[in-house]
Amino acid sequence: MPENPFFTASTLPYSLPPFAEIRAEHYLPAFERGMAEQLAEVAAIAGDPEPPTFANTIGALERSGAVLGRVSAVFFNQASSDSTPEVREIQKEITPRLTEHSDAIHLDRALFERIKTLHAAKDTLPPAESWLLTRYHTDFVRAGAELSAADKERLVTLNGELSELATAFEQNLLADTNAAAIVVEDPAELDGVSVEAAAETARARGLDGKYVIPLVLPTGQPPLATLTNRALRERVHRASVGRGATVNAEIVVRMARLRAERARLLGYADHAEYVVADQTAPGTQAVADMLGKLVPPAVANAHREAEDLRAEAGFDIAPWDWAFYAEKVRQARYDLDTATMRPYFELDRVLRDGVFHAAGLLYGLTFTERPDLPGHHPDTRVFEVFEEDGTPLGLFLGDFYARESKRGGAWMNSLVKQSDLLGEKPVVVNNLNIVKPPPGEPTLMTFDEVNTMFHEFGHALHGLFSAVPFPRFSGTAVPRDFVEYPSQVNEMWAVWPEVLANYARHHETGEPMPQAMVDRMLEAERFNQGYATVEYLAATLLDWAWHTFTEDPADPVSFERGALADAGLDLPLVPPRYGSTYFAHIWAGGYSAGYYSYIWSEVLDADSVEWFKENGGLLRENGDHFRRELLSRGGSLDPMTAFRNFRGRDPRIEPLLERRGLL
Ligand SMILES: [Zn+2]
């Protein structure tokens, strides 16, 4: 019987995991061996009779856990992008054990003593090592290393329960989202969406002869913009906002309470204070101030937009009418509709002639598809990435299509982390959720999806350009409220004239998108920004409320309503981008008290876009400057120092306000 493929290092190029050999039954034994090996390594470090040095303690910790690192990267990538009942079972079993494993390391008294000794003398070390040491010290303190034995025990219990609840939340949500898909009997009701696609989705679910509209993760469902049947729109909207209500309500209340208790145990007022202490934001007050500044102008914009939509509809619109009449106003005002634009956004062209093309002009990169290297799913495409001079840089995997086994949204994963210490080059994955067309038909995207592809590739570049000594700081290992910044900057190239002209071509005729259409599309960018900003801010304030509460949130529905009202964001027509019971980012996705990060990062993003424009735009020297000062640094220096090195000064908020029409 062949050996478990996780037990030995991959022999494939760039240490790409050997997906062809990996089967679900390999995961548990690999996790078990990986944890046991790392605990033995840690015990050897902690019990080393030699006095602590950077190399025998921090360096050794950075090298530890090789098997665990390999299996975790592959497993969690599959758990989010191609989950099966078997994988879900393993996830349920392994997640709390991994939490326990991490606690065992962080709460190891002897190990922490060594780190503390080194930390006291950190100024004698070279800057990169001193920074890493400080990171370790902070990690350990934040994980409870300085607590009493009794408090440590309570902490381990809290962490264990929280990780079980997070997995339950995520799995309930996936099941509930699939179950809440709208089943339609009469195709006449489907006017405005593809009957063929709805029939195909129904067939894939064993509902032959019926029609199914699947739900995407956010509150706003794409078919609402075009479905002419108002009753069906209402059904879609209600199904969307009702997700998780029965299965996740108790979980979110329990998680909020446990997180608050954990924060207090660690010496913080609440979970938000605990989270923000380790971010680039100077404190919770700074975050609250920033959000408070954005709410009134955003709400005023949304009210103005609602007036326009009421005028268009001729009646008092409901939440399920907003997107539909917004689309009508948009068409009337800009003469644009999604259906006529999509033929200009064919996936392969967008990828090669847009995303890759921009990376070529800015950074000199070239891409060669490697069909000989299998990815984690048959739809995954693998590309080898080269520098301008032909030096190999890493691998980029693109998994672009939606499927029932994939969670909603779009994200980037790292399969192999770059580091000098371990001599690894990066392997990164982008996951999107574009509906797969019937066989033989081209994949035509919306402009939103195009933008998402550029966004996720910005994360990929952050991983691919990583040039750091230690794995702990590789690529996107930066604070949560900084990590969206490089990816948001990359969105600017989606609409950069030279790039857009290169990829926005009709998939049949090859004709470029007519200039008038381009102009109108760019003009329309600011359209509906009041709605977009309010739905985002409402979700952000919800996240904030769950993690700063002073009165126990016993009933999530009234808690949610009260939180939005307190923030001045209780607009019935503009529901939060995610409701509490399907807000995966904050309960299962690592964004708890961190959803503000997107707008926080957007300040840096908008200011950086200004820098590119001031300096001539799409030029190699500009790309190289951004790469050198920012993208290549990962977490290896203070992120705001990296920003200042790139920008030449502190960030300014005005470009963001201008972009969102909030000035
Ligand atoms: Zn992102």
Whether the CB-CB separation of 653 and 603 falls below 8 Å is answered with yes
Instruction: State yes or no: pLDDT of 337 exceeds 80.
Output: no
pLDDT number for residue 589? 85
Whether the CB-CB separation of 273 and 263 falls below 8 Å is answered with yes
Q: Which two tokens stand for residue 373?
A: 């290297």
Instruction: State yes or no: pLDDT of 402 exceeds 80.
Output: yes
pLDDT number for residue 90? 97
pLDDT number for residue 18? 98
Would you call 341 exposed, middle or buried from its count of C-beta atoms within 10 A (0-12, 13-18, 19+)?
buried
> How many Å apart are CA 530 and CA 535, to the nearest integer?
9
Q: What does the pLDDT look like over 421-474, one tens digit per residue?
A: 999 999 999 999 998 988 899 999 999 999 999 999 999 999 999 999 999 999
pLDDT number for residue 660? 87
> How many Å apart are CA 522 and CA 366, to the nearest integer?
28
Cα of 109 vs centre of ligand 1, distance in Å, is 37
Cα of 310 vs centre of ligand 1, distance in Å, is 34
Cα of 459 vs centre of ligand 1, distance in Å, is 7
Report the percent of the chain where pLDDT is more than 90. 91
Whether the CB-CB separation of 450 and 419 falls below 8 Å is answered with no
Whether the CB-CB separation of 474 and 426 falls below 8 Å is answered with yes
First to last CA, the chain: 66
List 382's β-bridge partners, or say none.
397
Q: DSSP label at 591? A: -
Mean pLDDT calculated for residue range 338-348: 92
Q: What does the pLDDT look like over 241-268, one tens digit per residue?
A: 999 999 999 999 999 999 999 999 999 9
> How many Å apart are CA 574 and CA 154, to the nearest integer?
41
- Look up 456 and say whether it is catalytic: yes
Taking ligand 1, which is a single-atom ion, which protein residues have CB atoms under 5 Å away?
484, 487
Q: Which of 456, 484, 491, 535 is catalytic?
A: 456
Cα of 52 vs centre of ligand 1, distance in Å, is 39
Q: What does the pLDDT look like over 217-243, one tens digit per residue?
A: 899 999 999 999 999 999 999 999 999
Orientation of helix 620-629 relative to helix 597-614, angle to 10°: 140
Q: What does the pLDDT look like over 150-165, one tens digit per residue?
A: 999 999 999 999 999 9
Cα of 219 vs centre of ligand 1, distance in Å, is 18
Instruction: State yes or no: pLDDT of 646 exceeds 90.
Output: yes
pLDDT number for residue 1? 58
pLDDT bracket for residue 111 (50, 70, 90):
very high
Q: What does the pLDDT look like over 350-393, one tens digit per residue?
A: 999 999 999 999 999 999 999 999 999 999 999 999 999 999 99
